[in-house]
Structure 1
Amino acid sequence: MNIKRKLDIVVISDVHLGTHGCNAKKLLNYLNSIEPKHLVLNGDIIDIWQFNKRYFPKTHLKVIKRIMSLSANGTKVTYITGNHDELLRKFNDTEIGNISIVNKLLLDLDGKRTWIFHGDVFDVSIQKAKWIAKLGSWGYDMLIILNRWVNWYLQKRGKARYSLSKKIKDNVKLAVKYIGDFEKTASDLAIENGFDYVICGHIHQPTISVKTNKRGTTTYMNSGDWVENLTALEYRLKRWKLYDYTKDKLIPFAPDEELKDMNIKDLIAAITIVEQPEEE
């Protein structure tokens, strides 16, 4: 019997369900390995920008089903909307059972003021020219597909995997500057408003770092993504940890028994019905 890790809070973002780049199977393994009191979905969970009814694999639906099951079993689920799932913003402040949809989340964690939001509000390309941002998103997805073929070839040759997009991000000055500016803007605003922690997604750069300016100090965190980095933020025993699926020890968890033989129609039916916990 697999023992699941009990956590106070888990933050994941930028899953991009419905795209070729999404690592849904690995995310499902992770979700099956934990029992969080509070699961925060910090934007871009479902990629509505690139949604295509011809491509939404069974594993992607199983991720949604697993989140619904966690909710039914008592986990509080907060869905913070991002730019790729912005259509859900019309349902802001909606609550259904243990699930709520919001634009941002404010928490008091053991006396520490915490501000969680996706981060696309800082992206000028999205605010001013959405079509450019969508074109860039399509190009990124194509790059991920190409990268998978490259890594398949490298593994056949016995060589290490390689990330094309990470190489671009690390070496293109404009990309490096954008990431630095994003982190500084979020941190400066958090300090100005008296937050001890500020947590974002959006830029796919997982990190935990202390930021200081003339006005004070805050801890900036980014939950990364489930396209390349496969990371999450975990809070337990008054401490934050950056979980890395590829580096941290993880016992392979099989999907829930109820999911093994479930067909696509059953899964769609399951995720459109809000489950309630059974009375004891």
Structure 2
Amino acid sequence: MDKRNVEVVVISDVHLGTYGCHAKELLKYLKTIKPKTLILNGDIIDIWQFSKSYWPESHMKVIRKLMKFVSEGVEVHYLTGNHDEMLRKFDGMEMGSFHLGNKLIMEIDGKKAWFFHGDVFDVTMQHSKWLAKMGAVGYDTLILINSFVNWVLNAFGREKMSFSKKIKARFKDAVKFINSFEQVAAELAIEKGYEYVICGHIHQAEKREIATDTGKVTYLNSGDWVESLTALEYNEQNWSIFKYEHRDFVKDEIDEGILSDAEDLKSKLDINLLLQNIKYEIAR
């Protein structure tokens, strides 16, 4: 499969190090693109739930692929989120074409774009962080159970389902929170004079224009790689939402070097080996 040239790619909420992360699918996607700029908009590595006993080889392969982008001169911006907030103290760090920050303001074809994760709008994050962390553990558990249920449904030829999406759709407070999140982000962006505001955090891919009494802005959200499997792409003065679909990826051309599910689950790296791998990739 030929690689696509993409001016700007935005991904967020990958949650490497958790059972819900679709690392193999993300790796397939990354292998099909040649981005000029790659923006990792928070919660790429889930430090909150990081475990010494669960770091599959496919998760390490995603890290290696991101490092390869850097070695090839791709501008990679890692913006911190709440699950990788430990990195926020390194705001402003740069290594070659790799940049670590808490937010990013970039001009794209003459228009100002404001990138940040978005957890600053989450009241739970601001006032009850322990509750947010408990919720994250509960969410990861729900995803794990959901994966098992979908495996059973697939075995019987039934359509897969998403527990969390059904929960979000049924509870008005969840819908209200998402709408409020988007509105607040838009209002702040308009106030600051930005044409685009790009977030993550709520695992809900979106592209829409939001207007207020003082102006309008294009609000975008990159979704996640836990359930939605989405990214944002910018080409020829247009933003679009990329949605991963398995049928679009030819196995023989893409899967080379990617472990099967069974092999992947057996390939657990301990934390020391993980650090050794990262040091090796940096030194290459």
Same-fold status (TM-score > 0.5): yes
- The aligned runs of 1:224-239 (5 Å cut-off) are 224-239=223-238
Aligned to 1:57: 56
Is the Cα–Cα contact under 8 Å of residues 80 and 104 in structure 1 kept in the other structure? yes
| 2:215 is the alignment partner of 1:208 | no
The one-letter code sitting in structure 2 at the alignment partner of 1:128 is H
Is the Cα–Cα contact under 8 Å of residues 229 and 243 in structure 2 kept in the other structure? yes
Is the Cα–Cα contact under 8 Å of residues 114 and 197 in structure 1 kept in the other structure? yes
Q: Secondary structure at the residue paired with 1:143?
A: helix
| Structure 1 stretches lacking a partner, 5+ long | none
| 2:29 is the alignment partner of 1:30 | yes
Q: Secondary structure at the residue paired with 1:240?
A: strand
Q: Note the C-alpha offset of 1:115.
A: 0.3
Is the Cα–Cα contact under 8 Å of residues 97 and 274 in structure 1 kept in the other structure? no
**What TM-score does the superposition give when structure 1 sets the normalisation length?**
0.92
Residues 233 and 270 from structure 1, CA distance in 2 versus in 1: closer, same or farther, beyond 3 angstroms?
same
Aligned to 1:89: 88
Higher helix residue share: 2
Is the Cα–Cα contact under 8 Å of residues 28 and 255 in structure 1 kept in the other structure? no
Structure 1 range deviating more: 265-274 or 109-118: 265-274
Q: Note the C-alpha offset of 1:251.
A: 3.9
| Structure 2 stretches lacking a partner, 5+ long | 261-266
Q: Note the C-alpha offset of 1:90.
A: 0.9
Residues 276 and 5 from structure 1, CA distance in 2 versus in 1: closer, same or farther, beyond 3 angstroms?
farther
Q: Distance in 1 between matches of 2:225 and 2:39?
A: 14
Aligned to 1:272: 279
- The aligned runs of 1:147-226 (5 Å cut-off) are 147-226=146-225
Q: Note the C-alpha offset of 1:192.
A: 1.1
Alpha-carbon RMSD across the aligned residues, in angstroms, is 2.2
The one-letter code sitting in structure 2 at the alignment partner of 1:227 is V
Deviations, residues 91-137 of structure 1 (Å, cap 9, x unaligned)? 00000111110010001100111000000000111111110000000
Is the Cα–Cα contact under 8 Å of residues 6 and 235 in structure 2 kept in the other structure? yes
Aligned to 2:142: 143
Is the Cα–Cα contact under 8 Å of residues 68 and 271 in structure 1 kept in the other structure? no
Is the Cα–Cα contact under 8 Å of residues 9 and 38 in structure 1 kept in the other structure? yes
Identical positions, percent = 51
The one-letter code sitting in structure 1 at the alignment partner of 2:15 is H
- The aligned runs of 1:5-44 (5 Å cut-off) are 5-44=4-43
Q: Note the C-alpha offset of 1:56.
A: 0.6
Residues 58 and 86 from structure 1, CA distance in 2 versus in 1: closer, same or farther, beyond 3 angstroms?
same
Count of residues paired in the alignment: 274
Q: Distance in 2 between matches of 1:106 and 1:140?
A: 31
**What TM-score does the superposition give when structure 2 sets the normalisation length?**
0.91
The one-letter code sitting in structure 2 at the alignment partner of 1:272 is K
Q: Distance in 1 between matches of 2:140 and 2:257?
A: 32
Q: Note the C-alpha offset of 1:249.
A: 3.2
Aligned to 1:254: 254
Residues 257 and 170 from structure 1, CA distance in 2 versus in 1: closer, same or farther, beyond 3 angstroms?
closer
Is the Cα–Cα contact under 8 Å of residues 69 and 275 in structure 1 kept in the other structure? no
